[in-house]
Every structure is written in structure tokens, then in C-alpha cells.
Structure 1
Amino acid sequence: MSPSKSLRILVVEDEILIALELESLLQDLGHDVIGIAASCEEAVAMGKNLAPDLAFVDIHLSDGPTGVDVSRCLTGELGVTVLFMTANAKRIPEDCAGACGVIAKPYTERGVREALAYITSEQQDERQAARTMTFVPFGALRREDNPQVS
């Protein structure tokens, strides 16, 4: 994905104010938010029907801590790139459920921008990616090197 490409983004978040705020930020950054899902079932159905490029996925949704399941389905079955957005990174499993990073909640505009830059960069070299308090790429990083994902 090139940096200038407008991404089709699915927001998976059960807190509507957070979802709408993120939608507005993503649109301001030039991306197309194609849907907002509040549960695992909604997210999977939207992923299948709308074919997003990227999904921002909260871990804890209206039907419980099902964001991990959403990530596994979107990445494994549909080939969607997933970023977790959560205040509870400890719920992210060792295999990261296919996601390529996490944005800490409460998120910042800077964290979202950094995550999008990482996703859209043609050179996704995790060793050179900036680790911040707001966005942590997964990939080759080991959990013991990354206290935010332990």
C-alpha cells in the first residue's frame, strides 16, 4: 500500500463516541471509513461484505472480549490488515491474533497517524519503526523487548 493511497477502513468499536471520533479523524486524514461494527458478528459480516483494507479493532466489544476472534477471522480468512486499539494490551495473545500492531487507548491523533504511516509504508521494517507510547508494531518484535504488549 502506498502512502498516498486512501484506505478503506472498518472500525470495530462498541463505544459509539470513540468510533465516531476515530471515523472523523480517519476521514480528515484522507481515508474512507466503510463501516462501524460493535460486535464480533457485525465485524465479521462487514469484513466479508465490504472488503476493507484495514480494520481498527478494539479487544473488548459489546459481546465480550471478542476482538481477538475478529482479528483472527479478518486476517486469516479475509486478508485484512488489523490494528488493535485497546486499553488492555494484556488480552492480546502471544501470536498477536494476526494483527500487525496496537494503539494504546486513550489513543492520540499522533498514534493513529504513526500507525497509518507504518501500515502504508512500502518498507515495513519493524526494527526501524518508532516505538511510541501510542503505537507499537508487532512483527519481529519480541514481547520481552516490548513492555506495552506483555
Structure 2
Amino acid sequence: MRIIIVEDEALLALELESEVEAAGHTVIGVAADSASAMTLIEKESADFAFVDIHLLDGPTGVDVGRFLASKDIPYVFVSGNVKRIPPDFAGAVGAIEKPYTVNGLQNALEYLDAMISGKDALIVPPNLIMPATTTP
């Protein structure tokens, strides 16, 4: 997958980039604020994104997420404060709470890759918070 990382903490962005690439995916860009993220989303053809909620310009990750959703690009929030995620998850596939473990991130990435690729669903890893679904 071609992946965008939206994270304002440089060390966390580098760690996430390293793990994503170790799993065989390509990081096509990293952004630390909403304007840079939206420019990157417009410029690149991404398959997926990891988005922090609080960026350099404030809690604008939700806006970035809604922009990704409008472009039909699946994403997950990666945040230390998952309570800030709106009830509708702003179109996110799910969320990963910081701090996360390398193993937990790898399991989540494997699940997300399978889900996006249309492969048979694996078991949702425990560190991947999924939006609540309602039954009709």
C-alpha cells in the first residue's frame, strides 16, 4: 500500500514510517499540520493514511480525516486521546491508541491491508478500535 502519515511528533512519525516500510508498504509522505496534509493528499495517490488528531496547528486531524474520507481514502486515527474522536469516527476505519506496541501496530496494519485489499477478514486485533455499528 501507498501510505500517508499525518503526525506532528517527528520521532513518532519516523517510528511509524519505519514500521510501515518494514511491513512492505511505501510511505509516500509525512505531514505535521492540516494544510500540509491536505496538499499531500491532493498531490499523491494514497491507498491509506495514519492520522493523529492533534497536529501542529491544533486538533485538526479530524478535519484531515474528513478530507480523506471525501476522497475515498481509508485511514485510521493514531492518537493518545481517542476520546476526541467524534462518534461517527469522521469516516475513519478505526483508531489505534498511543502508545502502541510494534507488535500491535504490525497486527493492525496486517488486518487493515487485508480489509482494504478485499481479502477475507481476519480477527480484529485488540489494539484497533473500530467504530460502533448499529444493527437495524
SS of the equivalent of 1:33 reads strand
Question: Matches of residues 22-101 of structure 1 in structure 2 within 5 Å?
Answer: 22-76=16-70, 78-101=71-94
Return the letter of the residue paired with 2:5: V
Say if 2:98 is the partner of 1:102: no
Say if 2:7 is the partner of 1:10: no
**Whole-Å Cα distance in 2 between the matches of residues 130 and 29 of structure 1?**
18
User: Identity over aligned residues, as a percent?
Assistant: 45
Q: Any unmatched runs of 5+ in structure 2?
A: none
Aligned length: 131
The 1:65–1:49 alpha-carbon spacing in structure 2 relative to 1, beyond 3 Å, is same
Q: Any unmatched runs of 5+ in structure 1?
A: 1-6, 143-150
**Whole-Å Cα distance in 2 between the matches of residues 75 and 12 of structure 1?**
14
Q: How large is the Cα RMSD of the aligned pairs?
A: 1.8
CA displacement 1:68-87 (0-9 Å, x = unmatched) = 000000111x1111110001
| Superposed displacement of residue 112, structure 1 | 1.5
**Whole-Å Cα distance in 2 between the matches of residues 41 and 140 of structure 1?**
31
- Conserved? CA contact 1:100–1:139, under 8 Å: no
SS of the equivalent of 2:4 reads strand
**Selected match of 2:120 from 120, 123, 136:** 123
| Superposed displacement of residue 18, structure 1 | 0.5
